[in-house]
Structure 1
Amino acid sequence: MLHLRVVCPPEHTTAVVDLLKAEPGATHLIVLRGVAVAPEGDVVEADVAREAADDVIEKLCARDLDHVGAITVEQIDTALSDSADKAAEDAPGEAADAVVWEELLARTGEESRLNGTFLGFMIIACLLAAVGVVTDSPVTIVGAMVVGPEFGPLAAIAVGLVRRRWDLVGRAVAAIAIGFLLAMVVTAGGTLLGQWAGLLDVNAVRGGHNVDFVYDVGVFSLIVALLAGAAGMLSMTSAKSAALVGVFISVTTIPAAGYAAVAAVLGEWQRCLYSFGQLVVNLVGIVLAAGLVLVLRKRTWTNRDNGRPLSTG
């Protein structure tokens, strides 16, 4: 279930309470009058079944409460209550299949921000991939896949395209482009430093190796990217987030970027080009599949998109 808190002007309180009383998927209704300071007003709280949350939030936004007041939603891990059980049973659908679209927009908007933490993870992941290439270590390559934070912005691109939120698309594209560019430049610098220090031999990327799958682009690269994108978006739009770890391990975006940087420094231009192709195929495949999942789940969203600006904090 989700915990819903609404800060509203006093003249809206009765309507909000009536709305939640009429919702079979809502329970544990609490009204606190005059306690809100900024913005001023009353506070109405309730626990709402996930499958009913999107409709409730839409009705609250239709009353302009996201502008004249505030609407916050939090995940409830455990609710020991017969009334909560009844609300979950009475709400239509299944919680795992429910999409809370405003929650998804907020989450992808946050994960698509270009900041120091995102860039730090991109650089570390790309450097790990380069070490995996040089040492021919598939385990290190997998570690780079897990550390890489690129799925967040890719999911944001898909959400933005499907919901026509071009501000979200622009932010996510900038994060991906700048993140990969900076990570590859730093990795190339690290490769040059390693070569100068005698830690790296040009033969490190020549011949057959266990990590050659990183640059071996083909039809299965696209298939894996499509499946990973679909699984990742299903995970983000449902209550089952554990699948994201498998998505991180299955795609070769970060490893391809690291391999391309190393190959370019060592003059292996064909492998550099193939690695870059692998990167592009994976990026495009993930976005396409994630977008398709959203389109297939489109029947659950409302026509209204309040177009709230993305959070910058």
Structure 2
Amino acid sequence: MSMSNSIRIRRSSRADSKVNLIYEVLFDEKTPPDEAPEQLSVEIGQKLELRCLTEDGSLDADSMHFTTLNKELQFEKEEKIDKGISVPIEGFNLKKHAGIVECSVKYKKEKNRSITKRINFAHQQVLPMHVIPCEVNICHNGGVCGVEAKIEKCFCPHAFGGERCADPVVSDFIYRAAQVALGGSGVFLFALLALSVALGFLFLKERRKRRELLDYMDRSPPDSPLSPIQEESQSDVFNFSIENPYKETCTPQKAPKRKPPVRSEEVTSDSWWRRSMKRLRGGFRPHQNGNRAEGKMMIDPSPPQPPLS
């Protein structure tokens, strides 16, 4: 397994002929912080020691500390050593110790600035008895490739999953994403989120008030001042004129149309004929012209004769 220059492995033997592994996370001027966590495979029950050291004079060794991205990880108390800290693990436990561990250190001059390196402790996966190992291991992050039912399959460690053990588990991924989001710009992001929520609340409140006002105007009678303005009169909303309230105004009216006088020859109605018969007794003499009867009014110039006795 390829290792980065910032992580070194040492083996120390004791009188009980057991080999203890020492994992050193080194901070120096040449080695940048690891973007991806370094994968380290540890056997169950293995004794090991995790160290975080610095050889850079600009870093404060007293501010160095370990953190775990998985809340289930449990480590013993940190011990101060020369140029760093150390965490001894008496026996590697898959449930307690497997996962991603971070080592952070601050700068001496810039206390708000820090640098972090990550290590992923995982148990080397062992293939079941009925699975045949693959000729080429295509799995990542400590996974082991095996052939099961003529299909190549990756058996992933505790903290990873997926077809080739390249995807971290959900709990570790969410925790890492939250730390990245709330890192140096956490305060700014939180303020931006709070401002967005406040503006959204005000927008919804104003929209609700406007909708209630429109509903109230729709329920008003047509002659009410709160009645909605029709579309055809919207162009004249702002057109108004100021008149003198004390000036008597008159509205010119058109003169009624007069009918032309009736001509004498046109007056031939029955009503006029009957009135003429009542007024002028004996003045009506019908004349016959063929089959057509014409009636003309004639006035006898001779004075009326007295009645015969």
Structure-1-length-normalised TM-score: 0.23
Higher strand share: 2
- Larger RCO (alpha carbons 8 Å, 6+ apart): 1
Structure-2-length-normalised TM-score: 0.23
- Could you say which structure has the larger radius of gyration? 2
